[in-house]
Structures are given as structure tokens and as C-alpha cells.
Amino acid sequence: MNKPELLAPAGSFEKMQAAVQFGADAVYFAGSGFGLRARAGNFEADEMAEAFAFLRANGKKGYVTVNAYLKNGEFEGLKEYFGLLSEIKPDSVIVSDPGVFHYAKKYAPKIPIHISTQANVTNLAAVEFWHEMGAERVILARELSGEEIRHICKNTSCEIEVFVHGAMCISMSGRCLISNYMTGRDANAGDCAQPCRWNYALVEQSREGQYYPVEQDERGTYFYNSKDLCLIDRIGELTDAGVKSLKIEGRMKSVMYVSVVTGVYRQAIEKAIQGNYITDKRWMEMLQSVSHREYTEAFYDSEADHKSMNYGTSSYIRGCEYLGQVLGDAEDGTLIEAKGKFAADEAVSVLTPDMEETHILTGAITEPNGKPLEFTKPGIKCILKGLKLPAGSIIRRYEK
């Protein structure tokens, strides 16, 4: 039985640690340039070296995104950047632009290359093209059905990676210009303003300043606003098809999101490789608990249609509030970093890295120096007295 890799987003060192603790086999992140998440917590050179030291100590892999589409003047510095990556030795670089691919082959020839979903690979011939050019892996476009994915996997020796969870861009494989036109922020250089999520009104040319709402009918008012992808019910099929890597979107999401989603898909993969895959009802409950939009399987069964779109709102749904993360043991208690406000003796939920969830009372809370606290504040480190919780555990409060 094929056992696919679980690939999680790492928008920061903290998120990378969480992904590893909750079961990721590999993570992907960007350096300080040439990636497609300009506003994520991207890694400087020293941070990248530290990240790979951590990953190797834990037997995990790390892939560096170099997947922006560049113009002529933007290649300055790319040769030097690939030289730096050659010293750090990531497990792959993820690229979209054929020019960047050329530079990677020339200036970092020992680093494996993965072809980004931004390259819009939708067929077997394109997979074979990139494989013959020297790519080790192709990340398929999200516009493919399960049947098309299976056909490609069964007819190529190239590794195939597929997105299984997270936000989706409304444009073809993320190649969008709306942000450029509306805000001047280039989506293809990692700086998308997400105008596809905005609510629009009509303006009549001769009536300056008068805005007319787009009245909602059965199709709603949001034209571009996609639901989030969720293929948790299809992990058995994708495993059987021979997909090498299952990828989670979300470098801009919280530590709680990375932890919970990674933990759910870890359990799903372990179930899939046993055969006779059945989705655990609790997995969807967990996926509903983190910040998300309504879920869809998008193109998996056929062409995506209006059922894959959010017409009512572009707001996120969140079942839980992220309150803190367990850093480790402390004298007579547990050291945490607070992410939200909660009080001493408050009832909260604790999710451990093995995806066991319990409800507890926080008990007494103190600063590390022993000073009592009535409640926490985001960003502070404090001790939950009398509690011993596993490192990496997530503390959260369910929404009422």
C-alpha cells in the first residue's frame, strides 16, 4: 500500500514546530524572497538554517517555495539565493516559472525540484514534460478530478502531490490579476489582497457616488468567493491512486489551524493505509473547529459549479478560540504561551498532539516568577499551576 507523505504549511518557526508535533512528514515555507506568501512569516537565512536543523533532528523534510513569477529585473539576486540554498540543502525547492527552474538547475543542481500548482499542470503530458526536464515531483492543479489524478499517477514515474485542504483561489491555479488591478498588489509575486472575497455593488456611470446593491437571488451576491477545499472523505482513494504527497494549504493561518488540520489528516492517512477507509465523524468536527469557510470537494467528482462558491458571506467560520500553546513542564505546573485571554479556574479544552481532547479547569495561573495572575494576555508566558500537559498541546475555548 502506498503511504503518502503529509505535507503541512510552515508560515513561521512556531507553526513548523506545531506541524511536526501533530504528525507532518514534511513542511513547506519560503525564504525572504521569491515565494508566493509575501506577508507570511518567511524565513531569513539564519532562521532557515535553524529550521532545517530542527527538521533533520526530528527526521522530517522541508521544501522551500521559490514559486513567484519573475520579470527580467527580478532575477537579480536569484543566483545568490540559490547559492545560499545550496549550502542549506533543503529537500526540494518548489518553482513555477520556467526561468526560475532554469536557474535552479544551473545554480543549485543538487537540490530536487518540485513543480508548483501555480504552473497549472492539468495533464499527463505536462507531468512527463517536467519530469523529463528534471523535476522530481509535480504538484497538480486543483482543477483536476479524482479520476484524472488517478490516471496521471498510474501512468508516470514522477512523484505526484495533491492539495487536500485549505483556501482556494477562484482563478485558474492561482494565476489572478484582480488584486493587481484593484490594489496594485501582485498576487503572482506573493502579495494578493484577496479582492475575490469582497462584496460588490453596481455603479451607473452618470450617477456619481450612487451605489446599487447586487440583489441576492438563489445564486447570492458574492461572485468570486470560493469555499475551502476539504478532501478528508477522499484520502483512501488518493492513497490507493498512488499520490505521493497530500498537501495542506495555510501558511498564513494560526498555530491552532496547522496543529488541528495536520493532526486530522495524519490520522486519516494512517487509517487509509490499513485499507477499507471510512471517515471518522470526529475528523470533520475537528476541521469545523478551526477558522475556515464552508467546505467543498471542488473539482474532485467533476467540474466545480456554483455549489463550490460562498454566495452569502466571505467571513470565516470558527468553532473554537485559540487560547494558548503548551511549551513544556514547569515547576509544579505547565509553561504555556497565551494566545488569548482566559481566567484562572476557567473551563477550557486541551488538544494534545495525539489528538486526544479533554476539558479541564485551568486552576491557578502565575507569571514565571510566581506572581499570581487573574487572567492571561495574548503573547505572555505563564504557568498553569498543578497541571502537567504534553508539550505542543493546544488550549482553546469552544464558541457558544
Task: Express each pLDDT in 31-79 by its tens digit.
Answer: 877 765 545 557 888 999 999 999 999 999 999 999 888 889 888 889 9
Instruction: Please give the pLDDT value at position 39.
Output: 52
CA atoms within 13 A on the CB side of 380: 16
CB–CB of 28/64 below 8 Å? yes
- In this prediction, residue 303 has a pLDDT band, given cuts at 50, 70 and 90, of low
Residues 6+ apart with CB under 8 A from 390: 326, 352, 353, 354
pLDDT band at residue 218 using 50, 70 and 90 as cut-offs: very low
The alpha carbon dihedral of 309, 313, 314, 315 has a sign of: negative
For range 369-392, the mean pLDDT: 95
The three three-digit cell numbers of residue 6, written as one number:
503529509
Beta bridge partners, 347, equal: 361
Q: Give the ranges where 44-185 is alpha helix by DSSP (H).
A: 45-57, 78-88, 98-107, 124-133, 146-154, 178-183
Residue 149 confidence (pLDDT) above 90: yes
Check residue 220 and give its pLDDT.
Answer: 46
**Percent above pLDDT 70 for the chain:** 86
**Cα distances (Å, whole numbers) of residue 179 to 171, 191, 203, 258:** 11, 8, 20, 26
Indicate yes or no: pTM above 0.75: yes
Q: CA 163, CA 166: separation in Å to the nearest integer?
A: 8
Q: Are 186 and 179 in contact (CB under 8 A)?
A: yes
Residue 337 has pLDDT above 60, yes or no: yes
Q: Tell me, what's the pLDDT at 224?
A: 65
Catalogue all structural domains in the chain, each as residue range(s) with its CATH number: 5-172+225-308 (3.20.20.70), 320-398 (2.40.30.10)
pLDDT at position 302: 73
